[in-house]
């Protein structure tokens, strides 16, 4: 069974948003990103990685959102077999977001010990989904 391990929030003020989740819920900062695609934080409760991101690159943000979007951006599932999961996604008319995957080189989190390597897919109702076999920084990996 796949497990929800990652949720990404898009914000225009990642410092303020991250501070809220750290101060109110005690989430721990487990990473920080500041690159051409986005700036922000990775927070965790030990089970789920919460990305707080201000997207700089509109391609990476996705044309349906854009760099100014604020709200839930995507949900990430850690899976046991990425190939089998991709086949199942395709069977259910969920296809890779080649535009975003190419812009990210499918390795946004390359600096986190191989974690955060993910592939984005379109989902129902305009929801963006990503899958990872290796998980996200700050999660238990189970």
Q: What's the pLDDT score for residue 141?
A: 61
Measured from the Cβ of residue 107, the count of other Cβ atoms closer than 10 Å reads 13
Third-level CATH fold of 3-132: 2,3-Dihydroxybiphenyl 1,2-Dioxygenase; domain 1 (3.10.180)
List the alpha helices (DSSP H) in the chain: 14-25, 58-61, 82-91, 98-104
Question: Tens of pLDDT along 89-123?
Answer: 899 888 999 998 888 886 444 444 555 668 899 88
CA–CA dist 130, 66 (Å, integer): 18
Q: Which residues of 11-36 are buried (b: 16+ CB within 10 A; e: fewer)?
A: beebeebbeebeeeeebeebbebeee
Cα angle, residue 34 at apex, residues 142 and 55 outer, rounded to 5°: 85
pTM above 0.85, yes or no: no
């Amino acid at each position: 069974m796949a497990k929800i391990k990652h949720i990404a929030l898009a914000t225009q003020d990642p410092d303020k948003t991250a501070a809220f989740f750290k101060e109110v819920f005690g989430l721990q900062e487990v990473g920080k990103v500041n690159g051409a695609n986005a700036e922000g934080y990775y927070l965790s409760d030990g089970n789920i990685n919460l990305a707080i991101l201000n997207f700089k690159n509109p391609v990476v943000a996705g044309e349906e959102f854009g760099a100014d979007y604020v709200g839930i951006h995507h949900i990430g599932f850690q899976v046991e077999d990425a190939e089998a999961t991709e086949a199942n996604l395709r069977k259910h008319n969920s296809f890779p977001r080649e535009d975003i995957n190419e812009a990210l080189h499918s390795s946004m989190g390359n600096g986190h010990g191989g974690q955060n390597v993910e592939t984005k897919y379109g989902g129902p109702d305009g929801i963006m989904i990503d899958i990872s076999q290796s998980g996200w920084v700050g999660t238990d990996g189970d």
